[in-house]
Amino acid sequence: MSDLTLSPRLYINRELSWLEFNSRVLHEAFDERNPLLERLKFAAIFSSNLDEFYMVRVAGLRRQVAANVTVTAPDGLSPQEQLDAISKRVHELLAQQQHLLHERLIPALAERGVRLVPLDELSAEEWQRLDDYFETQVYPVLTPLAVDPGHPFPYISNLSLSLAVEIRDPETLEDHFARVKVPRSLPRWVPFGRPNQFIPLEQLIGVNLRALFPGMEIRNWYAFRITRNSDIELLSSEEPDDLLATIEEQVFLRRFGEVVRLEVQTGTPPSMRALLVDELRDDRLPPNATLSENDVHEMGPLLELGDLRELASLDIPELRDPTLVPSTPVRLRGVNGAMFDVIRQGDVLVHHPFESFQTTVEHFIELAAEDDDVLAIKLTLYRTSGDTPIVRALTEAAESGKQVVVLVELKARFDEANNITWARQLESAGVHVVYGMMDLKTHCKTCLVVRREADGIRRYVHVGTGNYNSKTARQYTDLGLFTCNPQIGADLSDLFNFLTGFSRQRHYRKLIIAPSDMRDRFLSLLARETAHARAGRPARLIAKMNTLADAPMILALYEASRAGVEIDLIVRGICCLRPGIEGLSETIRVTSIVGRFLEHSRLWYFLNDGEEEFYLGSADWMQRNFERRVEAVTPVEDKALHGPLRTLLGTYLQDNRNAWILRTDGCYEQRQHDDDAERTAQQILISTTWGNAPLDP
């Protein structure tokens, strides 16, 4: 029995660790080795990430403060102390972003012909073009909202860009306030005739405000933007009769969540800031938990910086990364309708976006829909990307009489409305749609195809780390395994029965399933490596995840390190473990890879005294994944795939371009290649195929 306990000094705060991840994203925008438009993309991603962080994580902490929660996080910080630390770090990061954009990145883009043009540079002809555009396209959409005794302060929607307008009535000399929303339905960056040069929409509106308030004096206007609490948390005690209707109601109510952040344009006077803070306060909350001046972020001349992704997508090849053309795995090239035959001959491993999602996963489901011998298709759908070949294939399969079951997770954060739409479309085509469980979020990525063959019924399976989403499959790195292993197929049948019916299935043959026993199974695997180390046998763990925050797993990792297990953790984002503590975590190394593609795959390697084991699946090592989500992890038992997976892990561990090393104090340092040749894991994976240049992990 271990004598370890997780004292605060052994645990890095989750929220501050996430902010350091977003700092690494921002660094990619600073890095001059990246093409200019790619740097702009990372600056936009930094802002979008921060939006979600405030909508969910900061909002949750503020709710805890409002409820007088004093229980500390594992690192010892109270909710208020966490909010104070977050505010300090966010202001530092925003200052860095403003310097980057306005002192370095925007000027560098201007030198290459991509510009946001000041209004005073426009020619008479360009002004006429913009006036015509405003008159015909913008003005009809705008709605000025006055604030006075007869017009209360208007509702401001989450993340919407607005203009706060100061107006004076020349007859009464009274001053007034009005709000004008910058419509999202129009392009944020308005072209006016010069290639790759634009005017921000809010500036075009601002210079034409007299058209909205005729006869009034426009004294000034300032852009502002708010962030609301947008999380949806359903209590298991609610047990609604109709989960779909409940989620729809919660999505609607989310629009009215309390304001947790106010962003203002630089130069907004204190009086205007104070007016906005006062009007946006939520009287339902105690004073220490509602909006205050501490929650105001001064953002420079531009707000809504996530919209910079539109500029980053400009078709200027010399300012962007070369286009990636995904390959098809060698064993699947040219097989067309024989994919099932290939899988029977041996498991197939795919790695997106380097290998095509279209010719592997989509083709697998399309083939199943067309094949007369396929009897049933079952699939979990967490996030999808609209009218995709997968949705069409499932619809056609149901219409042709196949048994088609799709579990649509209505609680997928910020995709709730989208998933409701696709659930209804699938239902209308005859697909059996299941909405998941009240108290569990179905996060696993699994597809089961049941096929009638000459020697009986055979089950074909795809288990992946990423969503069945063709868009993210081009942007995220994800792994998938195709297999017809009978035990894995039987496990997946049992899992779908658990998801769609009444079942208390707890034990599975091959799959590791949450919430059944995933934490226990991983703890057991880690304990086995620990026992090997204590007995003097080789012991090794390499784990690649998005997040490591689960306290029992962190304690087990510390215990394994004390025993001498060599541990490499490739953790993209949050990592609450402290590596390098003398006598505790000296053999643990933590690497974060932040590059062109979002590292999203989860992969585990256990040396097991030479009897190597590999696992891949959907779960991070977090309490929520182990206890409040349905997750699936599969062993990769085909030894022909062990070499490629070993190569993959070794490639990541030898990255000296996009790799960041976590220090004991919770800070990260980017690994430098010094005199060595630069090795970029993602670039190597673009230019190689499975099994090339094996590296010993």
Rounded distance, CA 512 to CA 491, Å? 9
Let me know: does 126 contact 193? Beta carbons within 8 Å: yes
- Specify burial of residue 196 (Cβ count, 10 A radius: 0-12, 13-18, 19+): middle
* Sign of the dihedral through C-alpha 51, 54, 55, 57: positive
Q: Is 443 a catalytic residue?
A: yes
| Omega within 30 of 0 (cis) for the link into 389 | no
Let me know: does 632 contact 510? Beta carbons within 8 Å: no
* Sign of the dihedral through C-alpha 462, 466, 472, 477: negative
Count of C-beta atoms within a 10 Å radius of residue 481: 25
Closest by Cα among 26, 39, 2, 172 to 89:
26
Whole-Å CA distances, 90 to 20, 61, 103, 446, 587: 10, 15, 19, 38, 32
Rounded distance, CA 435 to CA 104, Å? 48
Closest by Cα among 117, 451, 56, 15 to 261:
56
Rounded distance, CA 284 to CA 275, Å? 19
Amino acid sitting at position 311 = L
Whole-Å CA distances, 22 to 49, 144, 286, 320, 622: 7, 36, 31, 21, 19
SS3 232: coil
Looking at 314-353, which runs of residues are DSSP E strands?
348-352
Catalytic residue among 297, 363, 443, 600: 443
Let me know: does 18 contact 50? Beta carbons within 8 Å: no
Which residues is 542 bridged to in the sheet? 568, 605
| Omega within 30 of 0 (cis) for the link into 515 | yes
Tokens (6 digits) for 486: 């009978």
Q: Where are the alpha helices (H) located in 619-691, listed in sequence order? A: 623-627, 642-653, 681-687
Residues with Cβ within 8 Å of 615's Cβ and at least 6 positions away in sequence, in order, are 512, 603, 604, 633, 634, 635, 636
Which letter, b or e, does each residue of 578-587 get, where b requires 16 or more Cβ atoms within 10 Å of its Cβ? bbbeeebbeb
Rounded distance, CA 445 to CA 365, Å? 13
List active site positions. 443
